[in-house]
Amino acid sequence: MFGGDLLRVEHWTNAAEQGAIAGRNAIRGEGDPEKISGIPYFWSNWYGHRLQFVGTSLRTEEVVIGPGGPGSVVLYRRGDRIVGALTIDRGGDIMKLRRRIVARGSWDEAVEFATARVEDGSGTKQTLPA
Ligand SMILES: Cc1cc2nc3c(=O)[nH]c(=O)nc-3n(C[C@H](O)[C@H](O)[C@H](O)COP(=O)(O)OP(=O)(O)OC[C@H]3O[C@@H](n4cnc5c(N)ncnc54)[C@H](O)[C@@H]3O)c2cc1C
């Protein structure tokens, strides 16, 4: 997915997925071991705001869409592909961006999508209590 990069993925979701796969492989015994198939994802709550990240930021160019704080999207580009996305208080958008990353979607389309979402105010449904 990301050109053979070796990644340390220190997130809850990855720890849970790898633990489940390790358990299934342990009881399966011989044969092809199941491999992890997802792409890195994490969320973190900071001072009443939700940060969500999917994909990778390694060896990328980053572009901020929005005011640069809550309500913003940061997209990470390699060549003509989107490979990562960070959202702040945009719970309605992160999985839509994930689908684009998994589909090796185009950079231009992802920028167009994120810009339209930020400009029309949609996608901001996840502000947390401070
Ligand atoms: C301050 C902090 C904030 C974080 N925030 C986020 C976040 O917002 N979002 C996110 O996705 N990730 C976050 N992480 C990362 C996330 O917590 C880890 O990636 C995840 O917990 C790793 O899970 P794990 O099961 O591999 O290890 P751990 O959760 O570290 O579990 C290992 C367990 O093994 C136990 N143990 C160790 N040695 C032994 C032993 N010899 N015998 C018995 N038990 C033992 C430990 O006590 C521990 O309970 C954060 C980490 C830190 C430190």
Q: Whose CA is nearest to atom 30 of ligand 1?
A: 15
CB 50 within 8 A of CB 89: yes
pLDDT value, residue 128? 57
pLDDT (tens digit per residue) in 42-85 = 999 999 999 999 999 999 999 999 988 999 999 999 999 999 99
pLDDT, one tens digit per residue, over 84-118 is 999 999 999 999 999 999 999 999 999 999 999 99
Number of domains in the chain: 1
pLDDT at 10: 92
**Which residue range(s) make up the domain with 49?**
40-120
> CATH no. for residue 81?
3.30.390.30
Q: Pocket residues for ligand 1 (CB within 6 Å)?
A: 10-12, 15, 42, 44
Q: Which of 12, 45, 94 to mutate to test the pocket of ligand 1 (most atoms within 8 A of CB)?
A: 12
N-terminal to C-terminal alpha carbon distance within the chain: 36
Average pLDDT over residues 108-130: 80
